[in-house]
A and B are shown apart, each in its own frame.
Chain A
Amino acid sequence: MVPSSVGGDAPIAELVPHIRLRGVSKVLRTERGAEITALTGIDLDIDNGSFVAVVGPSGCGKTTLLNQIAGLAEPTEGEISVRGRPVRGPGRDRGMVFQADALFFWRTVRRNVEYGLETQGLPRAERKEYAEKYLKLVGLMEFADLYPKELSGGMKKRCQIATVLANSPEVLLMDEPFGALDYPTKCQLQEQLLNILAREPKATVFVTHDIEEALFLADRIVVMGKGSIRRIVDVPFTKPRASDLRVDAKFAEQKAELWRALEGWLTAADETADA
């Protein structure tokens, strides 16, 4: 075997952190022309197959951070790279699941899932095979020929996730994907997501304001406040995680501890910042 120096070889992927952020800052301009610092000096490394949840109060820069990695906006300062390649604009190596209904409403569910595959120029038969694989994975196979308007909220989200996953991104970015769903649907989708990622490991950045969700899904939790990282917490639970974990005493303990600490981290850092 000839070792190739560039590309998707596992050894290299293991050496270089999958996603690397160095000194990332972002200044946003409001409609009135005022400047708002959304992110300051973010340093973060995310390994392949690792799941990072980003939590924090609204307006703390979580979504801005995700948009920078997705390449939807360029950082004012700093450098973001994915597998050693600097991020310049959006690309299919970084799939993003949006909070809103990002769906192609004029296409059936099946053709939604095929969108990225068409962009790649895959032949019809292969597209069909791939799309069906992911439709089955998210449990939408029997709804493949419906239009998105005929789906429930949870099914719409699944459709979006299938669309992103079928495109086989190296990095999965998720912006409060389950925020608008009812509790049982949310739990079910969280478990499905973990199952899928167990089969196809990806570096995942998952923005949420739900601490339970973060604890259940993530390997590490990044706590953000006012545009900077306040604390990074390692989640002690091993994977695979079953749904029983939610009612485990240790889980409740962790959740309570995190809750108590959270306020302290957020306010303490603000005081030092203000001083």
Chain B
Amino acid sequence: MSDLRGLRHGSGNRLTGLLVAAVLVAGWWLAAWSVADPSGRSSPLLPSPADVFEAIPRLSVFAGPGTPQTFGNAFWVLLVNTVASATTLFGGLLCGGALGIGLGLVLGWNARLRRMFEGPFLVVRVIPLFALLPLFLSWFGGARIGSVSFVAFAVFSMLFVNTLEAIRNVDPVARVFARTLGASPLRVYRTVVIPAIVPELAGGLRVVLGLAWAILLAAEFLAAQSGIGRIMILAQQYFDLSRMILIVLLIMLYTYALDQVVSVCVARITRWVPRI
């Protein structure tokens, strides 16, 4: 029943989304056309959607000088760099997520432990994330482990706070009820607290995933040898705005696709959550 409602709701959203996208593209086209020179050539500062499409084969250059400019080679370049970026992203998410949630769960177990260590760990929250980037660069150079650590650090700091907050918000009645049914404190933690925090953690994870792309790109702009952020910087060096926009569109697509997958998963694992 609620699944059906969800579906209908989803398809309505999709239609609106397509409409908004169409309006945006049309607006972009108009803007590009209005700044084009009289002969009809686009301004290099604002290529039209058609220019961006024509720029696709030019991505082949990033496979190495002299590579024939074909759609096939361009696709290959995108694939290789996407795999590189995705590896960094998920590596960072996995390490940072496991550490953040794990440490949150350890500290959430015991009030005294929490009071002792929460403060020091919360310091990570006030560290300006992007100011750390040069430090990571100095430590790791251009090695991929540097970008992975940077993403992991960012994810850790967000999910750690998220986990502690979620544990704080668990309904005390359910905990006490489990105790009166004979559950030991450890059992209550495992069978009440942990399942109860899943929806809040999932929400936090969704926010983190959105931000993780931005964090990853920042790391790749500065240091990486490959990856989507890396080819973005290369395109900038050619002053080729068509290719830059192309890459931006690609990142938008990835972010959207990932969010869709995550939101379906989150909806599935939080289907028990009472909503008003």
Using Cβ atoms and an 8 Å threshold, which residues of chain A touch B110?
none
Q: Are B274 and A163 in contact (CB under 8 A)?
A: no
Q: Are A167 and B273 in contact (CB under 8 A)?
A: no
B176 in contact (CB, < 8 A):
yes
Using Cβ atoms and an 8 Å threshold, which residues of chain B touch A100?
173
Q: Which of A19-27, A89-97, A194-202, A230-238 contacts B (4 or more CB under 8 A)?
A: A89-97
Q: Are B273 and A119 in contact (CB under 8 A)?
A: no
CA of A163 to CA of B180, assembled, Å: 11
Number of interchain pairs (Cβ within 8 Å): 74
Q: Are B198 and A106 in contact (CB under 8 A)?
A: yes
Q: Are A72 and B176 in contact (CB under 8 A)?
A: yes
Q: Are B180 and A72 in contact (CB under 8 A)?
A: yes
Dominant secondary structure at the B interface: helix
Chain A residue at minimum C-beta to C-beta distance from B275: A149
A103 in contact (CB, < 8 A):
yes
Q: Which of B62-70, B140-148, B187-195, B205-213 contacts A (4 or more CB under 8 A)?
A: B187-195
Most buried by B among A89, A96, A105: A105
Chain A residue at minimum C-beta to C-beta distance from B175: A102
Chain B residue at minimum C-beta to C-beta distance from A95: B180
Contact A105/B274 with A72-B176, A115-B191, A119-B187 known, Cβ cut-off 8 Å: yes
CA of A148 to CA of B271, assembled, Å: 11
Using Cβ atoms and an 8 Å threshold, which residues of chain B touch A101?
173
Contact A149/B272 with A100-B173, A115-B191 known, Cβ cut-off 8 Å: yes
CA of A105 to CA of B181, assembled, Å: 16
Contact for B174 among A72, A104, A120, CB less than 8 A = A104
Contact A105/B176 with A92-B181, A95-B181 known, Cβ cut-off 8 Å: no
Using Cβ atoms and an 8 Å threshold, which residues of chain B touch A147?
271-272
CA of A243 to CA of B275, assembled, Å: 36
Q: Are A115 and B273 in contact (CB under 8 A)?
A: no
Chain B residue at minimum C-beta to C-beta distance from A117: B181
Using Cβ atoms and an 8 Å threshold, which residues of chain B touch A119?
178, 181-183, 187
Question: Chain B nearest CB: distance from A231 CB in Å?
Answer: 29
Contact for B272 among A105, A163, A164, CB less than 8 A = A105
A116 in contact (CB, < 8 A):
yes
Q: Are B173 and A115 in contact (CB under 8 A)?
A: no
Contact for A96 among B180, B196, B273, B274, CB less than 8 A = B180
Contact A70/B180 with A147-B272, A148-B274, A149-B273 known, Cβ cut-off 8 Å: yes
Number of chain B residues close to chain A: CB under 8 A: 21
Q: Are B196 and A167 in contact (CB under 8 A)?
A: no
B53 in contact (CB, < 8 A):
no
Number of chain A residues close to chain B: CB under 8 A: 31
A98 in contact (CB, < 8 A):
yes
CA of A102 to CA of B183, assembled, Å: 14
Q: Are B180 and A94 in contact (CB under 8 A)?
A: yes
CA of A258 to CA of B180, assembled, Å: 33
CA of A149 to CA of B177, assembled, Å: 18
B168 in contact (CB, < 8 A):
no
Chain A residue at minimum C-beta to C-beta distance from B192: A104
B41 in contact (CB, < 8 A):
no
Question: Chain A nearest CB: distance from B187 CB in Å?
Answer: 6
Can you list 24 A-B contacts (CB < 8 A)?
A72-B176, A90-B176, A90-B182, A91-B182, A92-B180, A92-B182, A96-B180, A104-B174, A104-B192, A105-B272, A105-B273, A105-B274, A106-B195, A115-B178, A115-B191, A116-B181, A119-B181, A119-B183, A119-B187, A120-B182, A148-B272, A148-B274, A149-B274, A167-B182
Binding site for B on A (CB under 8 A): 70-72, 89-92, 94-96, 98, 100-107, 115-116, 118-120, 147-149, 160, 163-164, 167
Binding site for A on B (CB under 8 A): 173-174, 176-183, 187, 191-192, 195-196, 198, 271-275
